[in-house]
Amino acid sequence: MFNLNIKVCCFLILAICVVISVTMCTIFLNLSVSMAPARTCNTSCRPFPDYCTPYLPQPTRGKQWHQWDCLSKDRLNEGKLNCSLMLKELHFITEPMSQEEKQFPLAFIITIHKELETFMRLLRAIYFPQNIYCIHVDAKVEESYKASVQQLANCFPNVFLSSISEVVTYAGFSRLQADLNCMKDLNTSQVPWKRVINLCGQDFPIKSNLELVRHLQSKAWRDTNMTPGIRQPSYMRYRTQRQYQEVAGLHTVSRGHGIYKTPPPHNIEIYFGTAYYALTRPFVRFVLEDRVAKDLLDWSRDTYSPDEHYWVTLNHLVDAPGSNPQGEWEGEIRTVKWSDQEGTQHNGCKGRYIRGICIYGLDDLQWIMDGNHMFANKFDSHLFPEALNCIELWHRHKVLQHAQVPVQPEWRIATDDNGVTAWQ
């Protein structure tokens, strides 16, 4: 009996010791992790991707490229974000790069629903303090995702989440409504923006901000909206001839057995084009307020992929501000490799086609860089991370080259041994 008691007692003491030491250890580890300066947490820092070397200038003789890029979406979930630290670590550019750009602020509408990290990389590529950014986060995403985007946006006076969010459905009206929600917010913004450009999370800029500004102020586009598209071809007629409805968050399907729609209001001729645009501010106000624009919007509610006819149709109205009634596909707004244009418009997809659109691989980059487009679609940081890594470094190099102010060291994503870029 006595023996047993001692055994039980010893066992209990031992057990308590183990529990205490495990707890102390956990607390200690927790503390040491959370108190450690962010920079020692090394795991998310990407080394310089050597496969990008062909796309960048030679580093200074005898030097090598280094990268300190500790971009981590997890950082956004670690309680309160230290904004000044985040801006430095993520290499955000914090000054207008030239007077010319300062005088021509741009507005961006970015619709996202996944890939926080890819979004952060897109934002830092296009972010400049003179511009303004409306982020539409899909209403169907997890709350934590939205909270992370909000936390990031809170670090900037000129980045905000749209005041209304839609559940966005592929090819549905909600896709159009998402842009309109942002436009309504941008219409009353104090920032004197000159053009609004829409982007999705899988776009990436090819032109620097200065090049964008110059392109949009060139003779052809100085007073004109850009909405690539043509008269609706007969093979696209089904989209606006019969009724469609969204299956919320999933897809858009034919309604009944193909119920016919009434013809468009005000005898408008329907055009067909891309969903991408660069629009003037008066045109945005026209879209929000004009009777014809509103009637066309209502009529478009039960059409298929209305964002591919709405902007381009309005922009062919003679009365719309900055309209382009004779316009077709021009503008170089987006480079996309469609699978059905292989061999005619491009040399094939080196990544992979998904839904008929190429997700770029590394070997697509030269083709993109040789072109003259404003943005490229689509990149995917999981499928082909190399392509995004290199286009990002190449683009930042170009942006810094175009700077007319002293370049701050934090703005560089890659540097050589001396902490400077060879390309300065």
Ligand X SMILES: *[C@@H]1O[C@H](CO)[C@@H](O)[C@H](O)[C@H]1NC(C)=O
Query: Catalytic site residues?
Result: 308
39 binds ligand X (CB under 6 A): yes
Cβ distance 381 to 388 under 8 Å? Answer: yes
163 binds ligand X (CB under 6 A): no
Q: Which residue from 3, 5, 32, 42 is in contact with ligand X, where contact means CB under 6 A?
A: 42
Nearest CA to 175 out of 198, 195, 205 is that of 198
184 binds ligand X (CB under 6 A): yes
155 binds ligand X (CB under 6 A): no
78 binds ligand X (CB under 6 A): no
CA distance 371 to 73: 32
Q: Which residues contact 127 (CB under 8 A, 6 or more apart)?
A: 92, 93, 133, 156, 159
**DSSP SS3 for 191:** coil
Q: How far is the CB of 188 from ligand X (least distance, A)?
A: 5
32 binds ligand X (CB under 6 A): no
Cβ distance 324 to 315 under 8 Å? Answer: yes
Residue (21 or 26) nearer to ligand X, CB:
26
CA distance 146 to 113: 9
188 binds ligand X (CB under 6 A): yes
CA distance 191 to 142: 31
Q: Which residue from 139, 220, 288, 422 is in contact with ligand X, where contact means CB under 6 A?
A: 288
Residue (84 or 262) nearer to ligand X, CB:
84
266 binds ligand X (CB under 6 A): no
Nearest CA to 207 out of 423, 396, 54 is that of 396
301 binds ligand X (CB under 6 A): no
40 binds ligand X (CB under 6 A): yes
Q: How far is the CB of 291 from ligand X (least distance, A)?
A: 13
Q: Which residue from 21, 30, 64, 372 is in contact with ligand X, where contact means CB under 6 A?
A: 30
26-34, 250-258, 303-311, 315-323 -> range binding ligand X (CB under 6 A): 26-34
Cβ-based burial of 28 (10 A; exposed 0-12, middle 13-18, buried ≥19): exposed
Q: Which secondary structure element, helix H or strand E, spans residue 27, and what is its range? A: helix 2-35
82 binds ligand X (CB under 6 A): yes
27 binds ligand X (CB under 6 A): yes
141-149, 183-191, 315-323, 398-406 -> range binding ligand X (CB under 6 A): 183-191
Q: How far is the CB of 84 from ligand X (least distance, A)?
A: 5
230 binds ligand X (CB under 6 A): no
294 binds ligand X (CB under 6 A): no
Structure tokens at 325: 């009634």
408 binds ligand X (CB under 6 A): no
In the chain, count H helices and then E strands. Answer: 13, 16
CA distance 325 to 159: 33
Cβ-based burial of 3 (10 A; exposed 0-12, middle 13-18, buried ≥19): exposed
Q: Which residue from 46, 73, 285, 301 is in contact with ligand X, where contact means CB under 6 A?
A: 285
Q: How far is the CB of 306 from ligand X (least distance, A)?
A: 19
Cα separations (Å) of 19 from 14, 29, 372?
Answer: 9, 15, 64
CA distance 41 to 23: 23
Residue (26 or 58) nearer to ligand X, CB:
26
43 binds ligand X (CB under 6 A): no
Binding residues (CB under 6 A) for ligand X: these are 23, 26-27, 30, 39-40, 42, 82, 84-85, 88, 184, 187-188, 285, 288-289
